Amino acid sequence: MANKNLTRAKKVKNDEFYTQYDDIEKECERYRDQFYGKIIYCNCDDPENSNFFLYFANNFKFFGLKKLITTHYDSERPTYKLELTEEMIEDGAVTAECAKKTLLKGNGDFRNQESIKLLKEADIIITNPPFSLFREYIAQLIKYGKQFLIMGNNNSITYKEIFKLIKENKIWLGYDVNKTMEFALSDSYEKWSRIENGVKYGKVPAISWFTNLETDKRHQELILYKKYTAEEFPKYDNYDAIEVSKVVDIPQDYDGVMGVPITFLDKFNPDQFELIGSNRWVGQDEDGVYGRSSYLNGKETFKRLFIKNKKVSK
């Protein structure tokens, strides 16, 4: 049991990094109409460190929110929830002192019954969840039928559980995707890129926003100009699909299965393309979702998504 607790404590420390205000604003301001009149719950956010609370408190009236709720996890002690409504906001800057603070019985873990009760009350969940628990976190949101806008590593696209949801059109990418972002780090981190005003900052690659809120970009058609040739687009050794190494090179006239980089999801329009599978584990099933990776001329390829063009132009 002691070893399990130490492992969990280490994971918690490794998950403690805080999103910068500008990165939150850049993504969230695009959903203004969808936030209106809603209860937003940030369930992995300590108001003393998290900019999610600060951003939505500052923009409470701009978005026309009904309520803002925040909770956070503490491995050593019970924590609290903050609730903010329009009646609590006074003229001037909005701070945590404006909100109603209520002590929790538990430690604020998003899986606790107290947190789940708040989750059920909320309309939209917005946060930067623990990346080590990303699968479990997403599963909970889907289980309770919640709308969400959360951050995660872009490589989680190929996780079996996450890819299934993407394929079923239950989750997709937001606007700001696959970016290297700079986060504020807890004091426990031994590596960082810079220190400013006593705060450590570190750069984390391949960060994306994941959501089931509607976005304009997922209905924009990708302009295709290439023509298929067998020489330029060879077939895999172990899977009936052609290799397309760049999204921009997707041939407009090919009606079969194509393997494309996972960055394709940033351009994925479900009306234009069908998402077939992933090459992460080709071999165990016909969809290419489980098994070995794909091979080309005897060499293993990079991560690929398998797609078909619904609007082939000959």
Architecture in CATH of 2-215? 3-Layer(aba) Sandwich (3.40)
Q: For residue 248, with 0-12 CB atoms within 10 Å meaning exposed, 13-18 middle and 19 or more buried, which class applies?
A: exposed
What distance in Å separates the CA atoms of residue 96 and residue 82, rounded to the nearest whole number?
Answer: 8
pLDDT above 80 (res 26):
yes
Share of the chain above pLDDT 70, in %: 89
Whether the CA torsion 23, 107, 109, 119 is positive or negative: it is: negative
**Phi, psi dihedral angles at 108 (to 5 degrees):** 85, 5
Confidence of residue 3 (pLDDT cuts 50, 70, 90): very low
Domain boundaries, the chain: 2-215, 220-309
Q: What global pTM score does this model have?
A: 0.88
At 106-154, the pLDDT tens digits run 999 999 999 999 999 999 999 999 989 999 999 999 999 999 999 999 9
How far is it, in rounded angstroms, from Cα 151 to Cα 205?
12
Instruction: Yes or no: say if 239 and 282 are a contact pair by the CB < 8 Å rule.
Output: yes
Dihedral sign from CA coordinates of 103, 105, 109, 115: negative
Average pLDDT over residues 59-63: 93
pLDDT at 227 over 90: yes
Phi–psi pair at 57, nearest 5 degrees:
-65, -45
pLDDT at 115: 97
Of the spans 12-16, 152-156, 179-183, which averages the highest pLDDT?
Answer: 152-156
Confidence of residue 6 (pLDDT cuts 50, 70, 90): very low
Cβ neighbours of residue 30 under 8 Å, at least 6 residues apart? 174, 175, 215
